[in-house]
Amino acid sequence: RKKMELLLLLIICQCTINSVKTHSLSKPNIILLMADDLGIGDLGCYGNRTLRTPNIDRLAVEGVTLTQHIAAAPLCTPSRAAFLTGRYPIRSGMAAFSRVGVFLFSASSGGLPSEEITFSKLLKQKGYATALIGKWHLGMNCESRNDFCHHPHSHGFDYFYGLPVTNFRDCKPGQGSVFLKGVQKALVIPVQLIGIAFVSLAILRYIGLLKVPFQALGYFLLTVTISLVVLIFFFYHFRHLNCFLMRDYQIIQQPLSYENLTERLTKEAMQFIGRNTDSPFLLVLSYLHVHTALYASENFKGKSKHGLYGDAVEEMDWSVGQVLDVLEKHNLSDKTLVYFTSDQGAHVEEISSAGEVHGGYNGIYKGGKSTNWEGGIRVPGLLRWPGVVQAGAYIDAPTSNMDIFPTIVKLADAQLPSDRIIDGHDLLPLLQGKVTQSKHEFLFHYCNAYLNAVRWHPGNSESVWKVFFFTPNFSPEDSNGCYDSHVCFCHGGFITRHDPPLLFDLSRDPEEKVPLTPETESRFYEILRVVHQAVDNHTRSLHAVPNQLSWANLLWKPWLQLCCSSLFQSCYCDYESGGSALEVHSG
């Protein structure tokens, strides 16, 4: 009888242990921390020895470091679309065929389509409180200034506090402009041609060789003048029209003030956690750091060894520490999966008007933001979940920011969509050490909507092959970026096509210095054959969708402009220090 009682007790204990394990893996809190334009070489845990990032490094010590974590695109808008949906941005129409690959204006009509399923939508359906704090950059309105079809609320976030577009140099007085030089270049020749055409028509009309009413010439001149006035008005008021802070549907600060901005974002994140200590939550804290315009609060300004850029990195690290501390305060650390990454690599071409380097460091990797060289897409990937994820482990297998979607959807006990292709894969088996091989045999690297390169990691090999169909033309030629144009572009005279394609083995040449040839790699043509077959299979899986980054969707539309006062009052308000914000759709 005693043996039976002991056996029964052991069975009960084992069931209890299994129950605890199951419970611990079910519906954890999720915190996703995303930097903007941060280089993989900017962090101590990835080899930096001069910038101080102890809190981010703590995630590496207490969790897993992904050493080949790949952004699905080298630009903000498509990368973030892929992150939220687990799908290549080409599938959702969030990849441009034009030169401009991101949203530039708050009153554009393009954005993440409502048909797309985000992880926030699925987690919300499972009872999660969901919040996005910081940068959005995935659209706002479609047809009217109050439809909010692309707003974070329309994509599963209960709470939004942040910027609808992004942080521009133009948002901060004295930091220069990302548009002015391009606009000047674009306008000079058209204005000259229009002027010559108008004068020529007027002369021909005057001497009687052209029978055109003066009224028609007047209308022509009026149309050109109005167009120029609207354009000048828009860029003169760019900061007010595009750089503003929202809470849910309300504008609370227009234009944006950088004073204590990271402190405000961090406070919002901590308060959201504090409001949801007794129920599962999803928090996406999307930092403005370290996209230009650079900024730092007084506590960090001038404190780093790398100027304002370093100050910004160290302030962001402080913010990460505050989030980790509030988890400990509420005894939530063991119940929370924390992930840290960047949307793409550092923007190496960022140089201030005073000559100060405002871009980050991509370590040994070539290129940067806007390119599919490793410096543009290999980003930090840190995951911590005490007691569940291995502590201090390194994973060298290729992973993607698209993998977060299936990973957290599964943890929330939600079902992956069955009506569409999900390109990401569940990371948990890798994170727990149950497997060592990534499910990503192939990863496809797009430059806007153009397939630029393919990564192949055969299951029976240490090699990671990377094939380039075209590469950007760096300017100057011997530099590491496209300094003459500020970013690299994806077509026409901005690229060089390769036939046969360039081939690298990243396991032996992670710096992508020496392309392989049939003479130096005996399997050269076999590797290309396998990759071309993979491209064919991938291309067949794509379906035509509306292009959200077409010129028609990118251009500024005055009727979509959000404004907390009126255009004639320069869209000015500041309710951050008190008062009540105006509903932007009420007037």
Task: Tell me which residues are annotated as active site.
Answer: 76, 137
Q: Could you tell me if 225 and 231 are in contact, meaning their C-beta atoms sit under 8 angstroms apart?
A: no
1 residue type, one letter: R
Residues facing residue 187 across a β-bridge = none
Q: How many residues does the chain have?
A: 587
Residue with structure tokens 């970013």? 487
Closest CA to 496 of 477, 513, 512: 477
Helix (H, G, I), strand (E, B) or coil at 339: strand
Q: Which residues of 478-489 are buried (b: 16+ CB within 10 A; e: fewer)?
A: eebbbbebebbb
Give the pair of three-digit tokens for residue 529: 């054959």
Give the pair of three-digit tokens for residue 126: 């499972």
Q: Could you tell me if 422 and 94 are in contact, meaning their C-beta atoms sit under 8 angstroms apart?
A: no
Question: Is-cis flag, bond preceding 290, omega within 30?
Answer: yes
The Cα–Cα gap between 132 and 149 comes to 16
Q: In the 3-class helix/strand/coil scheme, how is 251-294 assigned residue by residue? A: EEEECCCCCCHHHHHHHHHHHHHHHCCCCCEEEEEECCCCCCCC
Q: Is 413 left (phi over 0), alpha (psi -120 to 50) or beta?
A: left
Residues facing residue 470 across a β-bridge = 497
Burial class (CB in 10 A: 0-12, 13-18, 19+), 515: middle
The Cα–Cα gap between 198 and 335 comes to 70
The Cα–Cα gap between 433 and 71 comes to 23
Torsion angle of alpha carbons 356, 360, 363, 368, nearest 10°? Answer: -110
- The HSE-up count of residue 219 (CA atoms within 13 Å, CB side) is 5
Interior angle at CA 394, CA 390 and CA 396, nearest 5: 130
Q: Which residues of 89-104 are buried (b: 16+ CB within 10 A; e: fewer)?
A: bbbbbbbbeeebbbbb
CA 188 to chain centre: 33
| Cβ neighbours of residue 165 closer than 8 Å, sequence gap 6 or more | 103, 104, 105, 106, 136, 137, 242, 243
Secondary element (H or E) of residue 452: strand 450-456
Q: Supply φ then ψ for residue 510, to 5 degrees.
A: -65, -20
Closest CA to 283 of 249, 322, 228, 252: 322
Helix (H, G, I), strand (E, B) or coil at 444: strand
The Cα–Cα gap between 244 and 476 comes to 36
